[in-house]
Amino acid sequence: MLNCREVTGQASGLIDGELSWMQRLQMRLHLAMCKHCSRFVRQLRLLRAALGHRGQAAGDPLPDAEVQRVLDGLPFPTREERPD
């Protein structure tokens, strides 16, 4: 059975459909039992959806406009709402 470190290391492969059927089975088994890893994979999926994952190679920086678009969509408090 996979441990949490192995699951987080293979999460991208699971989402991208790059794992063998046995690896997927092991991942699904762990995710069914571990709420922390399940949350991690769910958040990774959401992050990729928010960034509009376009199959960029790992390490390729996103254009500044894309980064700003994502940041603008995050629920950061305004200066007036922040406690000092």
HEC per residue, 17-42: CCCCHHHHHHHHHHHHHCHHHHHHHH
One digit per residue, the tens of pLDDT, for the chain of length 84 reads: 899 999 999 999 999 899 999 999 999 999 999 999 999 999 888 888 877 655 555 566 667 777 777 777 766 665 565 555
Please give the model's pTM, rounded to 2 decimal places: 0.61
Question: b/e per residue, 5-14, with b = 16+ CB within 10 A?
Answer: eebeebbeeb
Whole-number CA gyration radius for the chain: 16
Measured distance CA(5)–CA(61) in Å, rounded: 25
